[in-house]
Structure 1
């Protein structure tokens, strides 16, 4: 079974209140991450028809701060489907309500896994790729997965070769005392 991407896309907006801020008047990154996880859950659950859990989050870069009083909009879309997992792309934008200026604040990728009532992984519907952008996002997800596998195996204690890394560390703010 395959589903249209548009059928599970979700957008939410929320006004940023003083209770969401840190001591400098900017919105806590953790609060934004919580909202991102919620919308990723909703999008994945809507697509799969099952309860979903977060397996991983790829690349969380806070590009622009969010101020109290701004309207934050989060957009979630299925970028990739595996057998039991989905990659949900989440975009965060903030808008100054008085000026109308919109800032891109974050884009992240949440890998979500569908579960049955007993907590077992369950198959998810595939997605129909019908735009160049959807093909690009799907292909990018495959590349990100391959990079993660390579990164994980290269730094496994049993595979790690210290001599391959010591010279590169000399260019960083570190003192090595072996």
Structure 2
């Protein structure tokens, strides 16, 4: 019987820090949500690729929860880690932290969960290692992933119904 190889979650850890510059902000001086979402997808894809050591694609952005605006001139740090893996898919958690560089004040600005699939040389889903948690936080993220996966599956079914409904309707 072929057993799924294992890999420690921390081996996927990806940390990216950048300045928030004027072109990245809206008329309120806050980082554009879409820009942050792009950065989240980028960091998450690196984490998933590190974990799988194969090409990966985003299957879904399960959630992006914004807690605090990120202001122009702040530093923004994204920490991404694979929290769970199925046969070919991986859930990635991204924590976004803003830092006021003059005061050193840090705040959690956003959380996000995304799902990625690893691909083989023909562009088809291919197996990934089993995610192994070590720290208390990793165990919590890994354990609670099953609930999030169930929500994802239910949402996917609803989205499929919507796609079928709207396939012949033009708004």
The bucket for the TM-score relative to the shorter chain is: 0.7 to 0.9
TM-score, with length taken from structure 2: 0.86
Structure with larger Rg: 1
Report the CA distance shift for 1:4/1:148 in structure 2 as closer, same or farther (over 3 A): closer
Residue 110 (str. 1) matches residue 114 (str. 2):
yes
Query: 2:17–2:77: 8 Å Cα contact kept in structure 1?
Result: yes
Residue 29 of structure 1, CA deviation: 0.5
Report the CA distance shift for 1:124/1:155 in structure 2 as closer, same or farther (over 3 A): closer
Q: Say which of 116, 120, 127 aligns to 2:124.
A: 120
Q: Which residue matches 1:8?
A: 12
Residue 79 (str. 1) matches residue 117 (str. 2):
no
Structure 1 runs, 4 residues or longer, greater than 6 Å off: none
Residue 96 (str. 1) matches residue 100 (str. 2):
yes
Q: What is the DSSP-based 3-state SS (H/G/I as helix, E as strand, rest coil) of the residue aligned with 2:65? A: coil
Q: Say which of 131, 135, 138 aligns to 2:135.
A: 131
Residue 99 of structure 1, CA deviation: 0.6
CA distance, structure 1, for counterparts of residue 122 and residue 102 of structure 2: 49
Q: Which residue matches 1:66?
A: 70
C-alpha RMSD over aligned residues: 1.8
TM-score, with length taken from structure 1: 0.82
The runs of 5 or more residues in structure 1 that have no matched partner are: 158-178
CA distance, structure 1, for counterparts of residue 55 and residue 16 of structure 2: 19
The runs of 5 or more residues in structure 2 that have no matched partner are: 162-171
Aligned length: 158
Q: Which residue matches 1:56?
A: 60
Residue 108 of structure 1, CA deviation: 0.7
Query: 2:85–2:129: 8 Å Cα contact kept in structure 1?
Result: yes
Q: Say which of 26, 38, 46 aligns to 1:34.
A: 38
Q: What is the DSSP-based 3-state SS (H/G/I as helix, E as strand, rest coil) of the residue aligned with 1:3? A: strand
Report the CA distance shift for 1:152/1:88 in structure 2 as closer, same or farther (over 3 A): closer
CA distance, structure 1, for counterparts of residue 156 and residue 48 of structure 2: 25
